[in-house]
Amino acid sequence: MSNLLPPNHPPVPKQKIGVVLLNLGTPDGTDYWSVRRYLKEFLSDPRVIETPKWLWWPILNFFILSVRPQKAGHAYAQIWDREKNESPLRVITREQTENLARRLEGEDIVVDFAMRYGNPSTQSVLEKMQTAGCQRILLVPLYPQYSATTTATANDKAFDALRAMRWQPAVRTAPAYFDDPAYIATLGNSIRDGVAKLDFEPDLVITSYHGMPVDYLKKGDPYHCQCHKTTRLLREYLGWDKERLMVTFQSRFGPTEWLQPYTDKTLGELPKKGIKKVAILAPAFSADCIETLEEIAMGGKDTFLEAGGENYAYIPCLNASQGGMDYIETMVRRELQGWV
């Protein structure tokens, strides 16, 4: 193409296709100000907190951001990757990105990742891709179940960045994959393998999903139904009885009612019912993070054992495992059909 350009024409990069893995986000450190910046961006998102801004702004800035960063920073410190000085979410998402890039090598595809909150920002990644000649970009929100609080706001941030571009690339967004047979098989195999590696036989396996206010469900968010469908399909794939695999919801915030049953309360009540051996996983997450490693693997274990439980095990997310990456590659290649 360069031979056809008129004299003094700016360089035109070779056309490429971009693939961006989108995840929630993470603070850059465990200190007060790093966590505060992250929480402010996260909790200022109207997709996440639907309380009217005039009411929420003073609550957030005068109360929540005065005390919550210290508590959250302590929690992040429990699971922080000291060697890389990053949160596990960023480390794992980068591993997924690099692994996918190797799998797609040689097809003029640029693979990168971006965070809805924090760094690397969605805007910076999309601008870098556009400059590199990516005139077609696939956005891949790494959320199996759709919610306005996750998938939609991740896409919103990308659209905001695109809106400021003079030469805007064509864009596709990958759909939620909560009931994709290939995903169910991959997750089901990870559960079966995870249980097989334990030195005890669980009385119950819990699928703990990130919660949301009940009001969001009533307004039409499909997340709750998709979570239950994922677990039902997993149960059918594994051939388990209904009593062996249950759904709970974690990470509630504030005084309003959230989706139930609550994970922490369930873990505190199970030993009283004679269920003293439990395995748990978090199918709403594609990569382990503070909600899985600190809240579930650590905090959940303490709650369960203190209530009289005997054995407790956390089954990791798919992360950059062979099966997890096989699925991400399959999904991305499917969504790129017609472009590649």
327 and 199 belong to one structural domain: no
> Do 19 and 338 form a contact (C-beta atoms < 8 A)?
no
User: Could you tell me which residues come within 8 angstroms of residue 205 by beta carbon, excluding any fewer than 6 positions away?
Assistant: 191, 195, 240, 244, 245, 246, 278, 279, 280, 281
53 and 141 belong to one structural domain: yes
Question: Is 234 among the domain residues?
Answer: yes
Residue 243: how many other CB atoms lie within 10 Å: 10
190 and 310 belong to one structural domain: yes
Give the separation between CA 209 and CA 129, rounded to whole angstroms.
33
64 and 169 belong to one structural domain: yes
Reported as a pLDDT band with limits 50, 70 and 90, residue 2 is low
For the cut 90, the answer to whether the pLDDT of residue 203 exceeds it is: yes
Question: Is 4 among the domain residues?
Answer: no
- Give backbone dihedrals phi and psi of 129, rounded to 5 degrees, phi first: -65, -45
Give the H or E element holding residue 84: none
Reported as a pLDDT band with limits 50, 70 and 90, residue 106 is confident
Cα–chain-centroid distance for residue 156?
16
170 and 191 belong to one structural domain: no
Average pLDDT over residues 279-301: 98
Question: Is 1 among the domain residues?
Answer: no
Give the separation between CA 301 and CA 264, rounded to whole angstroms.
10
- 223-238 and 181-196 helices, crossing angle to 10°: 60
41 and 119 belong to one structural domain: yes
Is 291 labelled a binding residue?
Answer: yes
Q: How high is the pLDDT of residue 12?
A: 67
pLDDT in tens, 251-266: 998 889 999 999 999 9
Reported as a pLDDT band with limits 50, 70 and 90, residue 107 is confident
Question: Is 199 among the domain residues?
Answer: yes
29 and 153 belong to one structural domain: yes
CATH of the domain at 283: 3.40.50.1400
102 and 117 belong to one structural domain: yes
For the cut 90, the answer to whether the pLDDT of residue 142 exceeds it is: yes
- What percentage of the chain has pLDDT greater than the value 90? 94
185 and 172 belong to one structural domain: no
Tokens of 243: 């009593």
Give the separation between CA 167 and CA 179, rounded to whole angstroms.
36
Tokens of 68: 């919550």
Question: Is 340 among the domain residues?
Answer: no
Question: Is 11 among the domain residues?
Answer: no
For the cut 60, the answer to whether the pLDDT of residue 204 exceeds it is: yes
328 and 246 belong to one structural domain: no
246 - beta bridge partners?
206
Give the separation between CA 48 and CA 58, rounded to whole angstroms.
17
Average pLDDT over residues 227-231: 98
Number of domains in the chain: 2
Question: Is 7 among the domain residues?
Answer: no
153 and 192 belong to one structural domain: no
Reported as a pLDDT band with limits 50, 70 and 90, residue 8 is confident
Tokens of 316: 């990791």
Q: Which domain holds residue 233?
A: 181-314
pLDDT in tens, 321-336: 999 999 999 999 999 9
**Residues in the chain, total:** 340
* CA quadruple 37, 40, 42, 44: dihedral sign: negative
For the cut 60, the answer to whether the pLDDT of residue 1 exceeds it is: no
pLDDT in tens, 16-45: 999 999 999 999 999 999 999 999 999 999
165 and 212 belong to one structural domain: no
